[in-house]
Amino acid sequence: MGFNSVIEAQLDGQPVQLTISGGSGNRVSISITAEEGRVVAQSDSGWSFSTLSDNQLQITMGERCLGLSFVQHQDALFAEQQLRLAASSVFDRTREQASVAEYFKFYAILSQQQNMLTDFVRTGTYQRAMMMNSVDFRGKVVCDVGCGTGILSFFAAQAGARKVYGIEASNMADYAKKLVAHNGMSHLIQIINGKVEEVELPEKVDIIISEPMGIMLVNERMLESYVHARKWLKPGGNMFPTTSTFFVCPFNDEHLYYETASKAGFWTTPSFFGVDVGCLWQSSNEENFRQPVVEYIEPHHLLGEPVCTEFDFLSLTEDDLQEIRIPFEYTFTNPTLVHGIATWFDVVFRGSQHSVTLSTSPRAPLTHWYQVRCLLKKPVLLPPNETMCGELHMKANRKQSYDIVLRISIKGSSVMFQNEINLKEPNFRLSSFPGPSPAMMASVEHDTARPPVPPPQSTA
């Protein structure tokens, strides 16, 4: 999601072009070029600007101050807006502020944190991954991205870290500081309230830890902040989790399909208190099918083996996450009715001593991520031995989520089955994540010296 603006202006009475450009990183460059293409001034960093009058701006690059004039006031306003946007962090440039405010408000609520903490598969696997690879933490400096209550920071300390910097942008940082102080860890764990894209650390780190996965892996766009934090990672450093595998698989589920199709039934009413609401049926039906369905998937609904896409967080860039295309192809020997595509993911903690997997597969223990299904508005009936080709196309949006297009066709046919999915507005078919039972609570480790047990591995 690049940043690029070209604005006509004047410098000392001569026409010039002001160019503002950059990628997904924090650095945005500006340049001023004359008509013949000669670069008058250019800076990749360390520039600033100020408003001189309605039609004039001053740009400072190091010791140079350049006064730009604009013929139209609206051009000056646009230039000021673009420069102000360029001077902000990549986080603010690429997200709607209303969405950001809602997001951080949500994660500042203790009950929401409790929902994640009491996902014992999630929390227990993180602790086991660190304790089983204590050599990677002992005496090391750790950065915890989006630390929430600071639970992962505590795990890093338990594994022997020398210093842990927990970064949290929401007001949950206040609770994290309270927990750190209450547990006598203020000398070891430092909570920093701010965005990864905007704060600074006093030193480089040996390992970055985080729980940046949203539903369907990418929702909430926290993966970008996670890989952005590599700016602090020492050469040869590690990230926990280290890699992720995203799985897609066609599914058949007539009950889910007809349940979704029937939701718009109300909008066929010819006389609702004397009003015919039938003209809204199509809009309601499309709205319902745009919702990804979040729930546990019975494995028997899956059709074949999943297609895998790998992400390596040690090399993945923020630009890589702006647009993701996942092609797939399936051939079935029997007539097959496909209602859509099911998705889930694994993450792997690749340490010096052990590799530990956290799986959200339908065949693994249930997590609060469940699995996610994207429905087609019309199912695909695949004849025997015919090949189904398709693509899941995901594009990041400013609402901290992704716009998804699911396309499926039968090889050799011009007919295309397509549906647009709004990942920001999922349909949670299960009302809430089941809370811990007394037995689960009793199993929580209080003695961290006890040897951890590896989590079950995915069979997907």
The total of other beta-carbon atoms located within 10 Å of residue 311's CB is 21
Burial class for 235, CB neighbours closer than 10 Å (0-12, 13-18, 19+) = exposed
* Catalytic-labelled residue, pool 119, 197, 206, 346: 119
DSSP reduced 3-state for 289: helix
* Catalytic-labelled residue, pool 144, 211, 253, 318: 211
Rounded Cα–Cα distance for residues 210 and 401 (Å): 19
Backbone angles phi, psi at 212, to 5 degrees: -95, 10
User: In 9-49, which residue ranges form alpha helices assigned H by DSSP?
Assistant: none
**Burial 194-222, CB ≥16 within 10 A → b, else e:** ebbbeeebeeebbbbbbbbbbbbbbbbbb
Beta-strand pair 293-295/307-312:
unpaired
Q: Respond yes or no: is residue 403 known to be catalytic.
A: no
Beta bridge pairs of residue 48: 60
Of residues 66, 105, 102, the one with CA closest to residue 83:
66
Structure tokens at 245: 């595998």
Rounded Cα–Cα distance for residues 364 and 459 (Å): 8
Q: Respond yes or no: is residue 368 known to be catalytic.
A: yes
Q: Among positive and negative, which fits the CA dihedral 204, 206, 210, 213?
A: positive
Backbone angles phi, psi at 279, to 5 degrees: -70, -10
* Catalytic-labelled residue, pool 220, 253, 318, 346: 220
Beta-strand pair 402-410/416-422:
antiparallel
Of residues 136, 134, 196, the one with CA closest to residue 169:
196
CB 303 within 8 A of CB 342: no
CA distances for 371 relative to 106, 171, 302, 339, angstroms:
22, 29, 12, 16
* Catalytic-labelled residue, pool 368, 386, 391, 420: 368
> Annotated catalytic sites, by residue?
119, 211, 220, 368
